[in-house]
Amino acid sequence: MFTGLVGDVGRIATIERTADGARLSIDTELTLELRDGDSVAVNGVCLTATAVEGRRFQAEVMNQTLSLSSLAELSPGAPVNLELALRAGDRLGGHVVQGHVDGIGHIIEVSNDGFARRVRVEVDGGLERYVVEHGSIAIDGVSLTVAELDGRSFTVSLIPETLERTNLGAVKPGGSVNLEVDVLAKYVEKAVSAMGSDGREAGVGDPVERDRDQGPS
């Protein structure tokens, strides 16, 4: 589990692509805290560090993950947001982020707003139903607050700290980002869809017929 607070912006050192997937090598200072087998979020995608050496670690990305995320678009030298898994007792400064990308968003507008920068993102695959104004969403692994909704698009406002400490400061119209909606919204939807027309969950609280003991004849 993660919080959407980026620990470092790493750099893609190499990418090896095969028919089975891709192997990423990433340079980062976080290797001081990383061990083989640890989970690490790369642009919001939970991956496993398969080898850690010096300031570089490797992670393997299977084809399904490549097809559902923007990791397939990475190239050597690209900056990536990195976050180590949450430890028990750590502060939950962002929101609950699983590292399970729900879809890809497309940057359609970037504009300055005082010291902040507003970014409008278009979503597809029906994800807009999980996005609520002033709710949380993870963009490339960064925990952000939805400022506005407009049909299939939403807007976030990035403060200077976010622009400096993540790769979102470099996003431009036409670019793609990984999106993970608030997991609570998906649980609520599932619970509501299981309700009957009277508001009760199907099968819960229904009267149960029992055989009555008729006693000896």
Average pLDDT in the chain:
90
In angstroms, the CA 40 to CA 59 distance is 9
* CA-CA-CA-CA dihedral for 126, 132, 135, 140, to nearest 10: 30
State the CATH class of domain 103-193: mainly beta
Residue 217's pLDDT is what? 43
Pick the CATH number of 8-84 from 2.40.30.20, 1.10.8.10, 3.10.20.30, 3.40.50.970: 2.40.30.20
pLDDT tens string 125-156? 789 999 999 999 999 999 999 999 998 999 99
In angstroms, the CA 122 to CA 161 distance is 24
Strand ranges for 19-133 from DSSP E:
21-27, 39-42, 45-53, 56-62, 79-84, 103-113, 116-122
Residue 121 pLDDT exceeds 80: yes
Look up the pTM and report it. Answer: 0.86
pLDDT tens string 151-178? 899 999 999 999 999 999 999 999 999 9
* Mean pLDDT, residues 195-204 taken together: 57
Q: Where in the sequence of the chain do the CATH 2.40.30.20 domains occur?
A: 8-84, 103-193
| Contact indicator for 76, 14 with CB cutoff of 8 Å | yes
